[in-house]
């Protein structure tokens, strides 16, 4: 099924298909992720982007950052639009072309959930990339169903009380051939996953953790370091699910306590009273431990 | 003008991108900084530079030229230097420091093997400089001056050049052959050498100051100073310096069966190990403990490996002689009290603890002094030459360096002093008053992002087995495998200088890091850089730093 040599897959791509001049904040994880995805996918790609930060900062007229065809749609229907693009190519007997639907966590897991589920179920040959920054950052940091337990948003000022929706596993349970998670710190791994996914026929889902300096309350220079901690604490497991089987789980080399991760971010500041962690921290640690056990990190 | 597609009001191909650089308050800068190895090195060798050449290109040739920009004696230093560079290495806090000393020796040996020649920076100038002494300080000063075109003449009191390196370091540590060839390479820069010419005795100092534009005194500390116990005039009692000089000049020395060495410095260690190789049972007597010994730690370890006995808390009281020949050493036990001015514990004798150690030879390695015969310069404590901040002595246009100024120090410290004196002499001759540029700040472990480095083992040099070592004066560490040295060089963190990891290039969310024209450097596109600092944070070697936008 996968025809390209593994050497090609591991090659790091930098083609500047997502160019400078976009209006993202300094240190934006999503901008970094979008560029890595576009460069990995290459020129023969159509980017369908849902409403959200990415669309706002990358596509103001007249100087969009995209150097590949770009299609903007509503918050809730980008999967449906991408499905339509794919169906149109099929009907016109054109292509092949890489179709990548992209959205933030709100557009994917809350508002766009119905359409993404439909796209998976109908089996369109589309790669869906979700940039997970764990809240509605575009509209001013409101809670989404990807907001992790304990995180402060403007709609959960005392900290979120529910746990994060596990969309990669939901996607995998649609029976789609390829699901993967990635973070922006390991660009080699991220680009390999994009390239692998594009070689597979059928719906694919790639979940990328993309820190938001503004919403998470950290300085822009920590974007990569925070991703690394999210992996090392076990809060963000990195794995692939190929044809329903979990594979290539990234093992934690040196396990860190969740406190290391939480203390760097302003959205968790209320979990430390005068520097001493409150009981919610123990529950977040419990979530990390469950992840480690579940995915054998 | 081309007709625009339907629905477009502006031709997107002509749109100038929005310059996000105006948002910036901080901007990234590539700043080359001093690595701690160079900072700790008394010669400030460009260690990072030569290691990178070895790691990237396996280019020993160029590495030798980089190293000899500052250090004219790499093969010698690679053998005898106590390598403070490795103590400074930032890798020490990560796994193990780099084997810089071994790499230096490998590069130095390569230079000797291929007969590499030093390059002159300035072909010729008319000023003449006299250098007194051909030890490490004198050679280094002469080398740096000759490279800058000065006409240099070295006056050496002894028969052969090299100073303490020739007469004070035993050949199991530094083979004479290596030293001779390195000195020859230095002299090929056009330096005159006059041996058996002791300034102050054969040649008056005034004559030098009259005929030369500047004079450098690297006279060293050649006189052994005994501690003054009764019986020192007996036969079989040597000072450490004299003993090593006798052995190194190839004279046969009868040491007998038992040798006692007094002292805990490097001369004591060398004397003890030489005596051991001459077939004696050797005992080192020192009045404090191992911790306070001024000798290089590795030297003490190797001496212990060679089954040399150490008696701590022991101080000689009297040398016992029979018919004018030494037969034993009366010692007293000491106990350590509160520290003295040198910061070391002060030993006090315990009454009634006297004991005799039988000895056929006693070697007093208890101190050295400058031979001031015929030299009149201002001194500190009547011991060492007093110099100002540019190493000029109390006499105008006479500079000094090395052991005679520093007290007892290492070969590399003397080379460093010679180098700085050469710079000072150049400034003096040219009438420069402005100080030279000071090096950039030093990088420490806390500045580095060590996530990107892999842990690895340090290169281990292999020593000869002890029973083979003791059979003669062959070198303890045989030549190294060059491929292992290049592999060791790859461990270098390259603190403070880009090594082309491309992190900044890949991580910039704004695509504002561009490849330079050569393809191996990276530049910042300040039109678009928002100053987030991600590149600086993820730069492993702290080459990128954030500075305030003006």
How does the average pLDDT of chain B come out, rounded?
89
| Set of chain B residues whose Cβ sits within 8 Å of the Cβ of A57 | none
Q: Do A220 and B530 touch (CB under 8 A)?
A: yes
Q: Say whether B510 and A213 touch across the interface (CB within 8 A).
A: no
Per-position DSSP letters for B437-457, written without gaps between them = PPPPPBP-GGGS-GGGSPP-P
Contact B528 A14 (CB under 8 A): no
- Best of A26, A59, A214 to disrupt the B interface (most B CBs within 10 Å) is A26
The ranges assigned to domains in chain A are: 6-295
Most trustworthy range by pLDDT among A240-254, B427-441, B518-532: A240-254
| pLDDT of B201 | 85
Q: pLDDT band for B375, please (50, 70, 90 cuts).
A: confident
Of all residues in chain B, the one with the smallest CA distance to A63 is B17
Q: pLDDT value at position B291?
A: 87
**What residues in A contact B12, CB-CB < 8 Å?**
62-64
Chain A CB within 8 Å of residue B509 CB: yes
The answer, yes or no, to whether residue A1 has pLDDT greater than 50, is no
Flag if B510 and A22 touch (Cβ within 8 Å). Answer: yes
Distance from CA of A120 to the nearest CA of B (A): 30
* Residue-wise DSSP of B93-139: GTS----HHHHHHHHHHHHHHTT--PPPSS---S-EEEEE--SHHHH
> Distance between CA B342 and CA B359 in Å, rounded?
31
Put simply, whether B505 touches A (Cβ < 8 Å) is: yes
Domain residue ranges in chain B:
18-32+498-548, 36-116+449-489, 128-222+370-430, 223-366
CA of A214: which chain B residue's CA is closest? B532
CA distance B129 to B118: 19
Max mean pLDDT among A50-64, A171-185, B385-399 falls in: A171-185
* Contacts B19 to A, Cβ<8 Å: 21
The nearest CA of chain A is from the CA of B32 a distance in Å of 21
Any A CB within 8 A of B512 CB: yes
φ, ψ of residue B275 in degrees (nearest 5)? -60, -40
Q: Options 3.40.800.20, 2.40.340.10, 2.40.30.10, 3.50.50.60; which CATH number does B128-222+370-430 get?
A: 3.50.50.60
State whether A223 and B534 contact (CB < 8 Å). yes
| Chain B neighbors of A65, CB-CB under 8 A | 17
In this predicted structure, what is the pLDDT of residue B370?
87
On the question of pLDDT at B367 being above 70, the answer is: yes
**Is the backbone peptide bond immediately before B138 cis, with ω within 30 degrees of 0?**
no
Q: State the fold for domain B36-116+449-489.
A: Fumarate Reductase Iron-sulfur Protein; Chain B, domain 2 (1.10.1060)
Task: Concatenate the DSSP letters of all residues of chain A into one string.
Answer: ---S-HHHHHS-----SB-S---PPTT-HHHHHHHHHHHHH-SSEEEEE-SSHHHHHH--TT--SBSS-EEE--SS-HHHHHHHHHHHHHHTT----EEEEEEEHIIIIITTHHHHHHHHHHT-S-EEEEEE-SSBTTTTSB--TTPPTT---SS-TT---SPPP-HHHHHHTTT-SEEEEEETT-HHHHHHHHHHHHHSSS-EEEEEE---HHHHT--GGGHHHHHHHHHHHTSS---EEETTEEE-----SS---HHHHHHT-GGGGGGEETTEE-HHHHHHHHHHHHHHHHHT-
State whether B511 and A25 contact (CB < 8 Å): no
| List of chain B residues whose C-beta atoms are within 8 Å of the C-beta of residue A27 | 509, 530, 532-534
Chain-chain contact of A219 with B528 (C-beta, under 8 angstroms): no
Give the residue numbers in A contacting B (CB under 8 Å), as ranges. 12, 14, 16, 18-29, 31-32, 35-36, 60-65, 187, 213, 219-225, 228
Share of chain B above pLDDT 70, in %: 98
Is pLDDT above 80 for B26? yes
CB B277 within 8 A of CB B172: yes
pLDDT digits (tens, 9 = 90+) for B178-212: 999 999 999 999 999 999 988 888 888 888 888 99
Q: Residue B516: its pLDDT value, please?
A: 84
Q: What is the pLDDT of residue B368?
A: 86
Q: Give B65 to chain A, closest Cα distance, Å.
A: 36
Q: List phi, psi (to 5°) of A129.
A: -110, 120
Q: What's the pLDDT tens digit per position in B120-144?
A: 888 888 999 999 999 999 999 999 9
Q: Which of B18, B448, B509 to mutate to test the interface with A (most CBs of A within 10 A)?
A: B509
B452 and chain A: CB distance < 8 Å anywhere? Answer: no
Pairing label, strands B151-155, B128-132: parallel
Residue A8 has pLDDT above 60, yes or no: yes
pLDDT surpassing 70 at residue A23: yes
Q: Which of A12, A18, A63 sits opposite B18 (nearest CB)?
A: A63
Distance (Å) from the alpha carbon of A249 to chain B's nearest alpha carbon: 20
At residue B270, the pLDDT reads 92
Q: Pick the residue from chain B with its C-alpha nearest to A191.
A: B506
- Model pLDDT for residues B268-302, shown as the tens digit of each residue: 999 999 999 988 899 999 988 888 888 888 889 98
What's the pLDDT score for residue B1? 52
Record: contact B509-A31, CB cut-off 8 A: yes
CATH of B223-366, one of 3.30.56.10, 3.40.50.2300, 3.30.70.260, 3.50.50.60: 3.50.50.60
Nearest to A26 among B18, B451, B530 (CB): B530
- Looking at residue B90, its pLDDT comes to 93
Contact at CB, A28 and B507, closer than 8 angstroms: no
- Average pLDDT on B54-67 reads 92
Highest mean pLDDT among B11-20, B374-383, B400-409: B400-409
Q: What is the mean pLDDT of residues B71-92?
A: 92
**pLDDT value at residue A164:** 93
Q: What is the pLDDT of residue A24?
A: 93
In the predicted structure, residue A103 carries a pLDDT above the cut 80: yes
Number of CB pairs, chain A paired with chain B, less than 8 A apart: 91
Query: Is a pLDDT exceeding 60 seen at residue A2?
Result: no
The answer to whether the Cβ–Cβ distance between A14 and B505 falls below 8 Å is yes
Helix, strand, coil abundance in chain B, percent, nearest 5: 35, 20, 50
Inspect the interface and report whether the beta carbons of B510 and A223 lie closer than 8 Å. Answer: no
B527 close to A (CB below 8 A): yes
Mean pLDDT of chain A: 92
Asked if the model's pLDDT at residue A4 lies above 60, the reply is no
Reported confidence tier of residue B2, pLDDT bands at 50, 70, 90:
low
CA distance B523 to chain A (A): 14
In tens, the pLDDT along B457-501 reads 999 888 888 888 888 888 888 888 889 999 999 999 999 999 888
Q: How far off is chain B from A122, nearest CA to CA, in Å?
A: 34
Question: What mean pLDDT is predicted for residues A125-149?
Answer: 94
Nearest CA in chain A to B536: A221
- Give the model confidence (pLDDT) of A255-278 as tens digits: 999 999 999 999 999 999 888 889
- Looking at beta carbons, which residues of chain A come within 8 Å of B506? 12, 14, 36, 187
Q: Which CATH number fits domain A6-295: 3.40.50.1370, 3.30.450.20, 3.40.50.970, 3.20.20.70?
A: 3.40.50.970
Q: Do B537 and A221 touch (CB under 8 A)?
A: yes
Which segment of A228-237, B30-39, B225-234, B316-325 scores lowest on mean pLDDT?
A: B225-234
| Same CATH fold assignment for domains B128-222+370-430 and B223-366 | yes
Specify the pLDDT at position A30: 95
Nearest chain A Cα distance for residue B526, angstroms: 11
Contact B340, B348 (CB under 8 A): no
Distance from CA of B503 to the nearest CA of A (A): 10
> A279 CA to chain B: closest CA distance, Å?
31
Q: Is the pLDDT of residue A114 over 70?
A: yes
Whether residues B511 and A16 touch (CB distance < 8 A) is answered with yes
Residues in chain A within 8 Å Cβ distance of B533: 26-27, 219-221
Q: Tens digit of pLDDT for each residue in B7-21? A: 666 676 677 788 999
pLDDT in tens, A189-237: 999 999 999 999 999 999 999 999 999 999 999 999 999 999 999 999 9
Q: Is B520 helix (H, G, I), strand (E, B) or coil?
A: coil
CA A145 to the chain's CA centroid: 14
Give the mean model confidence (pLDDT) for residues B499-527: 89
Would you call B536 and A32 a contact, using CB atoms and an 8 Å cutoff?
no
Average pLDDT over residues B161-169: 90
pLDDT on residue B13:
67
């Amino acid at each position: 099924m996968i025809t390209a040599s593994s050497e090609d897959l591991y090659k790091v791509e930098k083609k500047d298909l997502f160019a400078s001049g976009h209006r993202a904040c300094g240190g934006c994880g999503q901008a970094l992720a979008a560029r890595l995805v576009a460069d990995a996918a290459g020129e023969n790609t159509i980017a369908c982007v849902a409403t959200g930060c990415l669309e706002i900062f990358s596509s103001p007229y007249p100087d969009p950052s995209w150097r590949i065809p770009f299609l903007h749609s509503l918050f809730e229907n980008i999967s449906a639009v991408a499905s339509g693009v794919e169906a149109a190519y099929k009907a016109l007997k054109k292509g092949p072309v890489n179709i990548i639907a992209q959205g933030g966590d709100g557009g994917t897991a809350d508002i766009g959930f119905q359409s993404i589920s439909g796209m998976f179920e109908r089996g369109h040959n589309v790669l869906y990339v979700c940039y997970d920054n764990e809240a509605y950052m575009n509209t001013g940091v409101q809670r989404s169903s990807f907001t992790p337990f304990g995180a402060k948003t403007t709609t959960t000022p005392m900290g979120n009380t529910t746990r994060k929706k596990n969309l990669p596993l939901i996607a995998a349970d649609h029976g789609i051939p390829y699901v993967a998670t990635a973070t922006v710190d390991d660009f080699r791994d991220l680009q390999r996953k994009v390239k692998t996914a594009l070689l597979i026929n059928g719906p694919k889902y790639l979940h990328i953790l993309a820190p938001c300096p503004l919403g998470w309350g950290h300085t822009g220079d920590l974007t990569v370091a925070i991703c690394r901690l999210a992996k090392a604490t076990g809060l963000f497991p990195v794995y692939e699910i190929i044809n329903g089987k979990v594979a290539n789980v990234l093992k934690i080399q040196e396990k860190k306590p969740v406190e290391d991760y939480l203390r760097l971010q302003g959205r968790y500041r209320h979990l430390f009273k005068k520097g001493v962690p409150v009981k919610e921290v123990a529950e977040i640690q419990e979530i990390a431990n469950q992840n480690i056990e579940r995915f054998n990190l | 003008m081309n007709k625009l597609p339907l629905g477009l009001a502006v031709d997107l191909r002509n749109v100038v991108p929005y310059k996000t650089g105006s948002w910036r308050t901080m901007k990234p800068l590539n700043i080359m900084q001093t690595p701690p190895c160079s900072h700790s090195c008394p010669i400030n060798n460009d260690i990072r530079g030569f290691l990178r050449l070895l790691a990237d290109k396996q280019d020993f040739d160029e590495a030798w030229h980089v190293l000899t920009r500052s250090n004219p004696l790499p093969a010698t230093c690679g053998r005898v230097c106590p390598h403070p560079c490795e103590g400074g290495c930032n890798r020490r806090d990560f796994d193990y420091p780099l084997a810089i000393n071994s790499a230096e020796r490998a590069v130095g040996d390569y230079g000797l093997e291929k007969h590499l020649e030093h390059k002159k920076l300035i072909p010729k100038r008319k000023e003449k400089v006299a250098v007194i002494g051909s030890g490490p300080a004198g050679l280094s000063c002469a080398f740096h001056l000759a490279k800058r075109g000065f006409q240099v003449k070295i006056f050496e009191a002894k028969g052969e050049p090299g100073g303490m390196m020739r007469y004070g370091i035993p050949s199991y540590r530094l083979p004479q052959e290596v030293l001779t060839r390195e000195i020859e390479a230095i002299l090929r820069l056009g330096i005159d050498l006059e041996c058996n010419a002791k300034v102050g005795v054969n040649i008056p100092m005034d004559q030098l100051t009259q005929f030369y534009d500047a004079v450098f005194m690297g006279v060293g500390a050649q006189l052994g100073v005994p501690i003054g116990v009764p019986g020192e005039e007996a036969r079989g009692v040597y000072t450490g310096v004299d003993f090593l000089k006798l052995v190194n000049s190839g004279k046969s020395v009868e040491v007998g069966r038992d040798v006692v060495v007094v002292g805990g410095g490097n001369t004591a260690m060398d004397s003890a190990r030489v005596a051991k190789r001459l077939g004696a049972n050797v005992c080192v007597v020192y009045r404090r403990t191992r911790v306070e010994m001024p000798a290089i730690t590795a030297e003490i370890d190797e001496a212990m490996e060679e089954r040399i006995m150490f008696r701590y808390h022991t101080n000689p009281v009297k040398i016992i002689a029979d018919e004018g020949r030494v037969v034993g050493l009366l010692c007293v036990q000491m106990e350590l009290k509160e520290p003295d001015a040198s910061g070391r514990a002060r030993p006090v004798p315990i009454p009634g603890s006297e004991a005799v150690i039988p000895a056929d030879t006693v070697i007093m390695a208890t101190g050295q002094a400058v031979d001031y015969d015929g030299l009149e310069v201002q001194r500190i404590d009547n011991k060492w030459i007093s110099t100002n901040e540019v190493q000029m002595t109390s006499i105008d246009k006479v500079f000094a360096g090395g052991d005679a100024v520093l007290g007892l120090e290492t070969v590399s410290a003397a080379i460093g002093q010679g180098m700085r004196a050469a710079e000072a002499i150049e400034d003096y001759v040219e009438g420069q008053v402005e100080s030279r540029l000071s090096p950039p700040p030093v990088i420490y472990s806390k500045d580095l992002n060590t996530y990107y480095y892999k842990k690895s083992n340090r290169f281990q040099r292999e020593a000869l087995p002890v029973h083979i070592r003791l059979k003669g004066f062959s070198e303890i560490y045989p030549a190294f495998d060059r491929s292992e040295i290049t592999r060791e060089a790859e461990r270098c963190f390259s603190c403070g200088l880009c090594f082309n990891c491309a992190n900044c290039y890949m991580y910039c969310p704004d695509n504002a890091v561009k490849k330079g024209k050569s393809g191996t450097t990276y530049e910042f596109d300040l039109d678009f850089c928002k100053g987030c600092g991600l590149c600086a944070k993820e730069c492993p070697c702290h080459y990128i730093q954030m500075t305030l936008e003006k």
